[in-house]
Structure 1
Amino acid sequence: MAGLIDFISRKLFSTPEAIKEPDALRIGILGAASIAPAALINPARSHPGVVITAVAARDRTRADKFAKQHGIQKVYASYQELLDDPSIDAVYNPLPNGLHYEWTLKAIKAGKHVLLEKPSCNRAEETRRVFDYAKEKGVVVLEAFHYRFHPSAHRLRQIVSSGELGTIQSLKGALTLPRGIVGADDIRYNYSLGGGSLMDGGTYPVSFVRFLTFAEPVSITSAHARPAPDARVDVGTIATLAMPGDVSATIECDMALPPRFWIVPRMFDMGMTVKGDKGEATLFNFVLPMLYHYITVKTKDGKSRTEKVYVPPSTEGEWECWPKAEASWSTYRYQLEAFVDKIQGRKPHYWVEADDSVKQMEAIEQIYAKSGLGSRPASTFVL
């Protein structure tokens, strides 16, 4: 109940639609994806420097319906038609994982900046080629790990780095969904399109572990996958990562957690806990903190506190370059602010660097290798 009240109180005073600047960035969407409204369309409404001008889908009827629903002016029946439109400055690519490589390269070739849904590609080598090509062409590509742009994630990292918890010993992160949320025919179960729980929800705890520790896995100690009917696809994966300094990190992801004792429904788990020799801290709902979250800190001297961070807590130190945000801003709105700032030559408050995206995919591939399932199939596309 407290979480619901908190959410409603922030949304009642949400930021109104912004008056658009004359030189606002014109963005097109590749595919009428269900994530697009939350990830881009709604955040763009309050950003004066962004206008969503076009959408493309292979099904023209679907694209028309999507455009009408969201007030988008232009509709294209193919992705390439959208890329060929010289009036579009940037594209959002939320296509299935297995199509990220091809259509991001094509967008870069067309001179478009790209907001690229995670995971960046099916394989690390593909990710490296994408960012190398973007650098060559002078365009911006951002892997959309939206949670990293929200102040709650940075506040937890600040606590971990401060020494308050002592020497860090372990981390445990998860993104699990109860059975029934993801349908059996969902593309996330399609191996040829880069399907798998680790490629979907699992990217978040892996990314967050790396973010909090400023480090990459030394090795994958263990990885166990629960297979889908297509045994090449994981419904769920649990893995333990050996991090530098004898730190152990456990990540869990699942697209269909079965009920306990066959009848008791399972709850969502989107938390991260960091333990040190002097205490521990937990961020509940790090993936969608704008809905509701809290950070609890407990130290071995018996002290405890709870924090909620919807806006930057100060304008000093690591917070000095953060935007003046509203409590209603979503992780995606913070992300969009950084994306636009980068394109316009301004310093973003945070950025996912190319090397970070490559190392993220290397970690994912290492976990898949340890589980025995192996990497997702490489793209056959050649630019």
Structure 2
Amino acid sequence: MASLVKRLYTVANPPSVPKSTGPKPLLFGILGAAAIAPAALILPARSHPDVIIYAVAARSKAKAESFAKKHGIEKAYEGYQALLDDPDVDVVYNPLPNALHYEWTMKALAAGKHVLNEKPSADTAEETQRMFEFAEKKGLVLLDAYHYRFHPALKRAKAIIDSGELGVVKNVDVKMILTKGMFGDGDIRYDYALGGGALMDLGCYAMNCIRYMTSLNPTSVVAATPVAYEPASVPASYVKNVDRRMEATLGFPNDITATIACDLGVPHNFGLIPKIPKITLLVEGELGSLEMFNFVMPTLYHSITVKIKGGHTRVEKIYKGTEGKGEAWWSTYRFQLEALVDRIREREPEMWLEKQDSVDNMEWIEKVYEKSGLGSRPKSTYNAPFE
């Protein structure tokens, strides 16, 4: 209990370290005063000697200045392009709504900036492909922020599966179920025009996790069942193509099946009692199973339970990397930041997500949407003139 409390405290209050004097630290700029930015980048940067959060841009100068003052950021810009025009910015973090990922990632790359792009990559696989091809053309680093992949607990779960201890994998199941009330009616996750939907927000993790654990891409979407988001009061702009919940069954090579269930707001029991969120990964093999609780935020708390048929059961918890990098209190975002800086500095990161991984993930998200009848999220109207 003492180690848990200490770890959680340090996650929220990471130590500040002296910044590097050679080479010069990378200066990061944030597009939008997003609520996710403190956890995803600002706090992790405190303990990284090679990172300074230097600038933030928002649609209004007042909002940018307020955010900058709160988080000790030197520069505040009105409008995203103003930040991209700053020659001192080395890396851009893009946590804008999904539908804006393509436009502003392309503009950041055009300005010569490396980019950390929030998941999902964009609204379509085609846009994702174009972003990565442009980054390659410019000689820049582009990373989609599937932060959970960088934590050593995921690496350990993957190693167990790959070891053959469970035998031939037969089924993988990922559940990401949140309780009603976590997101209000006006939340961008429910806005079709901004690339909203449970599959886009939670399901992109689930799809990525299934593909990572099997080291395979699906071969088919066997079934996809959406539950439409229905706001308490229906605005004139309401579009029924937004999924509050999505369940899907996927076919894989070697007769492997996989199931996804993601829900942005499952109704309360009896309309009153909130249900406990469920974030689980289950891998079933011929010889046994592996279940991981809280695979997305393992730093907070997690468990990896391995059950061997007719044999033993064990529980593992992995908070620190085995290759010398990382502390038990490092969040998934801190591990991700370490890898990003290593890649930019032309050092080999311990974990990385390659271009094809991001493209394939969006392709199969689109295929699930197609099977469900909801269709892909709207393609960006931005025409990148510099491709």
* Length-normalised TM-score, structure 2: 0.94
Query: Paired residue for 2:6, among 6, 9, 16?
Result: 9
Map 1:37-52 to 2 at 5 A. 37-52=38-53
Query: Paired residue for 2:291, among 282, 285, 289?
Result: 282
Query: How far apart, in 2, do the equivalents of 1:258 and 1:81 lie?
Result: 43
Find the counterpart in structure 2 of residue 28 from structure 1: 29
Deviation of 1:253 (Å): 0.7
Query: How far apart, in 2, do the equivalents of 1:381 and 1:134 lie?
Result: 17
Find the counterpart in structure 2 of residue 319 from structure 1: none
Code of the residue aligned with 2:124 in structure 1: it is R
Q: How many residues align?
A: 372
SS at match of 1:177: strand
Query: How far apart, in 2, do the equivalents of 1:9 and 1:24 lie?
Result: 29
Find the counterpart in structure 1 of residue 199 from structure 2: 198
Q: Is the 8 A contact 2:57 2:77 kept in 1?
A: yes
Query: How far apart, in 2, do the equivalents of 1:173 and 1:334 lie?
Result: 23
Query: How far apart, in 1, do the equivalents of 2:36 and 2:10 lie?
Result: 24
Q: Is the 8 A contact 1:174 1:202 kept in 2?
A: no
Find the counterpart in structure 2 of residue 233 from structure 1: 242
Find the counterpart in structure 2 of residue 99 from structure 1: 100
**Matching of residue 167 in structure 1 with residue 164 in structure 2:** no
Deviation of 1:16 (Å): 1.9
**Residues 263, 337 of structure 1: CA spacing in aligned structure 2 closer, same or farther, 3 A cutoff?**
same
After superposition, what is the alpha-carbon deviation per residue over 1:329-351, rounded to whole angstroms, capped at 9, x for unaligned? 00000000000000001001111
After superposition, what is the alpha-carbon deviation per residue over 1:287-319, rounded to whole angstroms, capped at 9, x for unaligned? 11111001011111230111100112x34xxxx
Query: How far apart, in 2, do the equivalents of 1:176 and 1:63 lie?
Result: 33
Query: How far apart, in 2, do the equivalents of 1:257 and 1:13 lie?
Result: 31
Q: Is the 8 A contact 1:56 1:75 kept in 2?
A: yes
Query: How far apart, in 1, do the equivalents of 2:150 and 2:364 lie?
Result: 21
Find the counterpart in structure 1 of residue 282 from structure 2: 273
Query: How far apart, in 1, do the equivalents of 2:29 and 2:94 lie?
Result: 9
Map 1:162-311 to 2 at 5 A. 162-229=163-230, 230-311=239-320
* Length-normalised TM-score, structure 1: 0.95
Q: Is the 8 A contact 2:8 2:300 kept in 1?
A: no
Query: How far apart, in 2, do the equivalents of 1:357 and 1:213 lie?
Result: 16
SS at match of 1:75: strand
Runs of 4+ in 1 over 3 A off after TM superposition: 11-15
Code of the residue aligned with 1:128 in structure 2: it is Q
Deviation of 1:44 (Å): 0.3
Query: How far apart, in 1, do the equivalents of 2:20 and 2:219 lie?
Result: 47
Code of the residue aligned with 2:102 in structure 1: it is Y
Computed over aligned residues only, the root mean square deviation of the Cα atoms, in angstroms, reads: 1.2
The 10-residue stretch of structure 1 (28-37 or 259-268) with the greater mean CA deviation from structure 2: 259-268
Deviation of 1:374 (Å): 0.4
Code of the residue aligned with 2:60 in structure 1: it is D
Find the counterpart in structure 2 of residue 128 from structure 1: 129
Code of the residue aligned with 1:241 in structure 2: it is L
Query: How far apart, in 1, do the equivalents of 2:27 and 2:270 lie?
Result: 52
After superposition, what is the alpha-carbon deviation per residue over 1:50-109, rounded to whole angstroms, capped at 9, x for unaligned? 000000000221111111110001000010000000001010000000000000000000
Query: How far apart, in 2, do the equivalents of 1:34 and 1:13 lie?
Result: 20
SS at match of 2:5: helix
Deviation of 1:263 (Å): 3.2
SS at match of 1:48: coil
**Residues 10, 240 of structure 1: CA spacing in aligned structure 2 closer, same or farther, 3 A cutoff?**
same
Code of the residue aligned with 2:251 in structure 1: it is A
Q: Is the 8 A contact 1:6 1:292 kept in 2?
A: no
Deviation of 1:11 (Å): 4.2
Query: How far apart, in 2, do the equivalents of 1:46 and 1:68 lie?
Result: 20
SS at match of 2:254: coil
**Matching of residue 110 in structure 1 with residue 86 in structure 2:** no
Query: How far apart, in 1, do the equivalents of 2:93 and 2:10 lie?
Result: 28
SS at match of 1:199: helix
SS at match of 2:184: coil
**Residues 267, 11 of structure 1: CA spacing in aligned structure 2 closer, same or farther, 3 A cutoff?**
closer
Map 1:64-103 to 2 at 5 A. 64-103=65-104
Query: How far apart, in 2, do the equivalents of 1:265 and 1:103 lie?
Result: 38
Deviation of 1:277 (Å): 1.3
Code of the residue aligned with 1:173 in structure 2: it is V
Q: Percent identity?
A: 52
Code of the residue aligned with 2:31 in structure 1: it is L
Query: How far apart, in 2, do the equivalents of 1:13 and 1:130 lie?
Result: 35
The 10-residue stretch of structure 1 (252-261 or 78-87) with the greater mean CA deviation from structure 2: 252-261
Q: Is the 8 A contact 1:147 1:331 kept in 2?
A: yes
